[in-house]
A and B are shown apart, each in its own frame.
Chain A
Amino acid sequence: MGEFFHVPSDLQHSYLGLVGWHLEEALIPVLAGLLLALPLAQLCVRLRWLYPPVLWVTTVLYAIPSLAFFVVLINWTGQSEITVMIPLTLYSLVVLVPAIVDGVRSVPEETHAAATAMGFGPVRRYLQVELPIAVPAIFAGLRVATVSSISLVSVGALIGNQGALGNLLADSMFYHRPILAVSSVVTTAVLAMAVDALLVLCRRLLTPWTPPARERGRGAPVSVPAVAEEAR
C-alpha cells in the first residue's frame, strides 16, 4: 500500500502535494468559468437572439480535443499551468452557460410576474428570485464541469509534466510501474467524486426548498440533469 502513495522523486512533489496541485489546476478554471458564465448567460437570457449563436460557438469549442488545445497554446503560454487552465476554463464556460440560461429560463412566468408586481427592480429580481431558483440547474452544470475538469488535468502531463496527478501516468509508462497509474486513476476518481459530493451537499444547503430526489415516478426531480449533460 505504501507503493500507492509513493511518488517518484523526479516529479518533485509528495503525494499530497500532487493532490493539492491537481485540485488547484482543476478548480480555478471552473471558478473562472463560472464568473465568466454568469454575465454571459444573463446576456443570453436578456437578448434571446444571442443564445443560439453562443450555443453553436460553445458546442464547437467543446469539440476541440483538450490535448490539441494544450499543444496549440504552448506557442503563447509555454509549458505552464496557464496552458492547462485556459482550455479548462473554456470547457467549464461551455457547460455552465447553457445550464445557467436554462435554469434562469425555468423560473415560472408567474413567479417572475409576481416579483415584478411586488416592485423588484431587474437587478434585485435577478439576485433574489431568478438566481436562487436557477441554483439547482447551475449546480448541475457545475458538477459536470468540475468532474470533467478534474479528469482533464491529467492530460497536462503531455506538455512538460503539467498534469499534476497525471504526471504519475507518464512515470508509470516510463518506469513501467502499473501501481503509479493505479494511484493516479484511483486518486483522480476519488477526488472527482468527493468534490462532486461536496457540490451536491452545497446545493442542498443552498436550496432547502427543493424536495429530496425521489426514486420512483415520472417527472420526479432530476438527480443528474439532462440539461447539463446535453450541453457537453
Chain B
Amino acid sequence: MSIFHFISDFFSQSAHWHGYDGIPQRLWEHIQYSMLAMAVATGVALPVGLVTGHTGRGGNALALLATAGRALPSFGLLVLLFVIIGLGLLPVMIPLVVLAIPPILVTTNEAVRSVDPAPVDAARGMGMRPLRILAQVELPVALPLILSGLRSAAIQIVSTATIAAYVSFGGLGRYIVDGLYQRDYEQVVGGATLVAGLALATLGAFWLAGRLAVSPGVRHR
C-alpha cells in the first residue's frame, strides 16, 4: 500500500472526526500547545533581541545562550521533566519554549543590528527618543527578518509538539505514538500528514502577516 492509501483511508474514517480522539479535538490541542509555547518564547526572546540589537551590546553572550539553547535536546528535556515533575503542561512547555528561543533571539538581534545606520542617525538628529526610534524606525525596517525568525521558531514548535504524546499528552502526536505502538501505520501517516499540514498553514499565516505588516518600502528587497 502506498502512503497515499494510508492517508486517504485515515481521513475517510468517520470515527477519526469525532470525540476526544477526533481530528478536530487533537488539532485544537496541538494548536493550543503551539500557540502557548510561541507566546512565551516570543515574550521572552523578542524584547531581549530588540534591545540587544538596538544597543549593539551583549552579542557574544547572546550567541552563547543561543548555542546552549540549541544544544539542549527537546525530546530528552521532555522526558527528564516528565520523570521529575510528572504529567502536566510544564514538562511539555519548557522544551518547546527552549527550542523556540534561539531562532527568535538570534534573528531579532541580527535584524535590528543590521538596520542601515543612516535612517537611525537621521531619526536621532530629528529628535526622536530611543524607544520611538526602536518602534518606528528599527522595528519596521527589521521586520522581514524578525518575522522569518518567528516563522522558523513556530514551524519547529508545531513539528516538535508531536513528542508531547510520548509523555501521555494530547495533540496530533497521539496518532503517531499510538499508531507506532499499535503498529497502525494508517494512523501514523495520517498524524504526520496533519502535522505537516498544520506547519504549512503556519507558513501561510506568516506569509500573510508579512504581506500585511511589512511596509512595501522595505518588502521590495
Chain A residues in the interface with B (C-beta under 8 A): 59-60, 62-69, 71-72, 74-75, 143-144, 147-148, 150-152, 154-155, 157-159, 165-166, 169-170, 172-173, 176-178, 181-182, 184-185, 188-190, 192-193, 196, 213, 215-220, 222-226, 229-232
B188 within 8 A of partner (CB): yes
- Interface of chain B, helix or strand or loop or mixed? helix
Q: Which residues of A contact B26 (CB under 8 A)?
A: none
- CA–CA, A154 to B166, complex, Å? 13
CA distance A59 to B154 in the complex (A): 12
User: In the bound complex, do residue A68 and residue B155 qualify as a contact, i.e. CB atoms below 8 Å apart?
Assistant: no
Whether B200 contacts A63 by the Cβ 8 Å rule is: yes
Q: In the complex, A231→B148 CA distance in Å? A: 9
**B interface vs A, CB < 8 Å?**
3, 56-57, 59-60, 62-63, 66-68, 70-77, 79-80, 82-84, 102-103, 106-107, 110-111, 113-115, 117, 145, 148-149, 152, 155-156, 158-160, 162-163, 166-167, 173, 176-177, 179-180, 185, 188-189, 191-192, 195-196, 199-200, 202-203
Contact A144 B79 (CB under 8 A): no
Taking a contact as CB atoms under 8 Å apart, the answer to whether B59 and A223 are in contact is: yes
**Pick from B117, B152, B159: contact of A64, CB under 8 Å:** B159
Is A65 in contact with B195, judged by CB distance below 8 angstroms?
yes
Q: Give 13 new A-B contacts, CB below 8 A, not counting A67-B162, A151-B71.
A: A59-B155, A60-B196, A63-B159, A64-B195, A68-B196, A71-B188, A71-B192, A72-B189, A178-B84, A185-B73, A213-B59, A216-B57, A218-B114
15 contacts between A and B (CB under 8 A): A63-B158, A63-B202, A64-B199, A66-B159, A147-B70, A151-B71, A154-B76, A158-B180, A165-B76, A169-B76, A181-B83, A185-B72, A192-B70, A192-B73, A218-B115
- Is A173 in contact with B79, judged by CB distance below 8 angstroms? yes
Instruction: Using known A-B contacts A64-B159, A147-B67, A173-B79, determine if residue A230 contacts B148 with beta carbons closer than 8 Å.
Output: yes
Quick one: given A148-B70, A188-B73, are A218 and B117 in contact (CB under 8 Å)?
yes
Smallest CB separation, A148 vs chain B (Å): 7
Which residue of chain B has its CB nearest to the CB of A226?
B110
In the bound complex, do residue B80 and residue A181 qualify as a contact, i.e. CB atoms below 8 Å apart? yes
CB within 8 A of A65: which of B3, B68, B160, B179? B160
**Dominant SS among interface residues on chain A:** helix
Q: Which of A62, A71, A165 contacts B176 (CB 8 A)?
A: A71
A226 to B202, CA, bound (A): 20
Could you say which residues of chain B place their CB within 8 Å of the CB of A224? 62-63, 66-67, 106
Contact indicator B185/A75 (Cβ below 8 Å): yes
Complex interface: chain A residues within 8 A of B113 (CB) = 218-220
Whether B103 lies near A232 (C-beta < 8 A) is yes
A177 to B162, CA, bound (A): 24
Q: What is the CB-to-nearest-CB distance from A169 to chain B, in angstroms, rounded to a whole number?
A: 4
B137 smallest CB distance to A (angstroms): 13
